[in-house]
C-alpha cells in the first residue's frame, strides 16, 4: 500500500500529527513490518557495538531525518545504518565514503533482510545475527517472513513526526535530572521511544528474570516513553512506570486529567491523541512525565535533592 506525500503536512510542520483514520490499516500494518525491519538493523548493532550498561549500547538513536544505529566499529573502520523517513530509505554509510541504499517500500521482511545483508556484503561487512524476531507474537524467521510486507510512506512519516516531537519534549524533561539517566533512545525490540532515570540504588532481583531483564532492571528506575500502539493498547500512547513499584504509586494523582493507571500494563498511560489535541501538547506531555516521576521518586524515597537540579 502506498500513499501520496502531498496529502500530509511537511515533516518540518510544528503541528503534532494525527495518525491516519481514513485508512485505519495503513499504520498498524506498516508498524508491524517496520518493527521487524528495525529488529534486523538493531540486531546488527547489538552484534557489533560495544556493550553498555542496561543494554543502552543496543538501542537505536534519533537523528534529524529518522532513526540511526550511530557509527559501529568494523575492522578498523566504521559504518552506520539510518532509517531515513524523509527519503524513505535505509542508508548504509561507511567511514570511507561509500553508501548503499535499501528502499523503504512495500516488500516482505524476507526481501528486506536479503537486500540489507546483500548491501552489507557489497560493502565488505560480514555480520551474522540470530534471524528470529523478539518481543512479537508468533515470530517468523526473517528469512522466511513473507507475511509482513506493508509500508505506507505517509503513515510512516506521521509516526516519525510524532516520535520526533515526543523526543524533543522527553529530552527537555531529561535535562532536569543530574543523576544517572539513559539517553532518549529507541528500543527496536519493543518498538518504543524511552528515557529512564535511576535512583542509584540496587534493585531486588526479579524472580525468574532472564539475562536481559536482569541487566535492564539491576537498579531502581522510573521510566517513561512513547509507544505507537498495537495489541491490548491499539492506539499510540505514552507510558510511565516505576520498578520496583513503590506502594501507593498506582493510586497517585498524576496529570493531565486524561492520564490513568492500567493494571493490565502495570503503568500509567496517556493517549497520544489527548496530548496532540491539548492546548499545548508540550505542556501536557511534560506534565505527564513530571508528575509520574514525582509520584514514583517521592514514594520510593529517592534522594531527590541530590538527583535533581
3, pLDDT greater than 60: no
What is the pLDDT, as a whole number, of residue 207?
A: 87
Cβ count within 10 A of residue 306:
10
For residue 79, give the nearest of 99, 62, 59, 61 by alpha carbon. 99
The pTM (predicted TM-score) of the whole model is 0.93
What is the pLDDT, as a whole number, of residue 20?
A: 79
- Considering only 16-25, 155-164, 294-303, which range has the smallest mean pLDDT? 16-25
10, pLDDT greater than 70: no
For residue 64, give the nearest of 186, 169, 185, 161 by alpha carbon. 161
Which residues in the chain belong to E strands, given as ranges?
61-63, 66-68, 72-74, 77-84, 89-94, 99-103, 185-187, 192-202, 219-227, 237-243, 260-262, 267-271
For 231-262, the pLDDT digits (tens) are 888 899 999 999 999 999 999 999 999 999 99
User: Do residues 140 and 133 make contact, with C-beta atoms less than 8 angstroms apart?
Assistant: yes
The number of angstroms, rounded, from the C-alpha of 120 to the middle of its chain's C-alpha atoms is 24
Mean pLDDT over all residues of the chain?
A: 94
For 111-157, the pLDDT digits (tens) are 999 999 999 999 999 999 999 999 999 999 999 999 999 999 999 99
What is the pLDDT, as a whole number, of residue 2?
A: 39
Please state, for a pLDDT cut of 90, what percent of the chain lies above it.
89
Q: Mean pLDDT over residues 2-11, rounded?
A: 43
For 17-31, the pLDDT digits (tens) are 999 765 667 999 999
281, pLDDT greater than 90: yes
Cα–Cα distance measured from residue 101 to residue 247, given in angstroms and rounded to the nearest whole number: 51
Placement of cell 495489541 in the chain: 231
For 66-117, the pLDDT digits (tens) are 999 999 999 999 999 999 999 999 999 999 999 999 999 999 999 999 999 9
56, pLDDT greater than 80: yes
Amino acid at each position: 500500500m502506498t500513499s501520496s506525500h502531498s496529502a500530509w503536512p511537511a515533516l518540518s510542520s510544528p503541528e503534532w500529527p494525527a495518525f491516519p483514520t481514513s485508512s485505519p490499516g495503513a499504520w498498524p500494518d506498516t508498524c508491524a513490518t517496520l518493527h521487524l525491519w528495525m529488529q534486523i538493523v538493531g540486531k546488527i548493532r547489538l552484534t557489533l557495538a560495544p556493550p553498555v550498561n542496561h543494554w543502552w549500547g543496543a538501542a537505536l538513536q534519533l537523528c534529524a531525518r529518522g532513526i540511526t544505529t550511530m557509527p559501529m566499529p568494523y575492522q578498523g573502520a566504521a559504518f552506520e545504518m539510518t532509517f531515513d523517513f524523509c527519503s524513505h530509505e535505509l542508508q548504509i554509510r561507511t567511514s570511507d565514503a561509500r553508501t548503499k541504499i535499501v528502499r523503504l517500500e512495500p516488500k516482505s521482511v524476507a526481501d528486506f533482510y536479503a537486500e540489507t545483508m546483500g548491501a552489507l556484503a557489497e560493502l565488505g561487512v560480514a555480520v551474522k545475527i540470530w534471524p528470529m524476531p523478539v518481543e512479537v507474537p508468533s515470530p517468523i524467521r526473517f528469512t522466511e517472513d513473507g507475511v509482513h510486507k506493508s509500508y505506507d510512506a505517509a503513515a510512516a512519516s506521521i509516526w516519525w513526526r510524532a516520535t520526533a516531537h515526543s523526543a524533543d519534549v522527553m529530552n527537555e524533561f531529561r535535562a532536569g535530572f543530574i543523576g544517572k539517566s539513559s539517553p532518549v533512545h529507541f528500543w527496536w525490540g519493543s518498538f518504543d521511544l524511552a528515557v529512564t532515570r535511576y535512583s542509584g540504588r540496587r534493585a531486588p532481583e526479579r524472580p525468574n528474570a532472564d539475562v536481559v531483564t536482569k541487566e535492564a532492571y539491576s537498579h531502581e528506575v522510573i521510566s517513561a516513553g512513547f509507544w505507537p500502539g498495537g495489541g491490548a493498547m491499539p492506539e499510540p500512547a505514552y507510558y510511565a512506570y516505576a520498578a520496583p513499584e513503590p506502594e501507593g504509586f498506582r493510586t497517585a494523582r498524576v496529570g493531565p486529567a486524561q492520564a490513568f493507571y492500567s493494571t493490565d500494563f502495570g503503568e500509567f498511560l496517556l493517549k497520544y491523541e489527548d496530548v496532540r489535541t491539548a492546548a499545548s501538547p508540550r505542556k501536557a506531555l511534560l506534565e505527564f512525565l513530571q508528575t509520574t516521576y514525582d509520584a514514583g521518586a517521592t514514594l520510593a524515597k529517592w534522594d531527590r535533592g541530590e538527583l535533581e537540579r
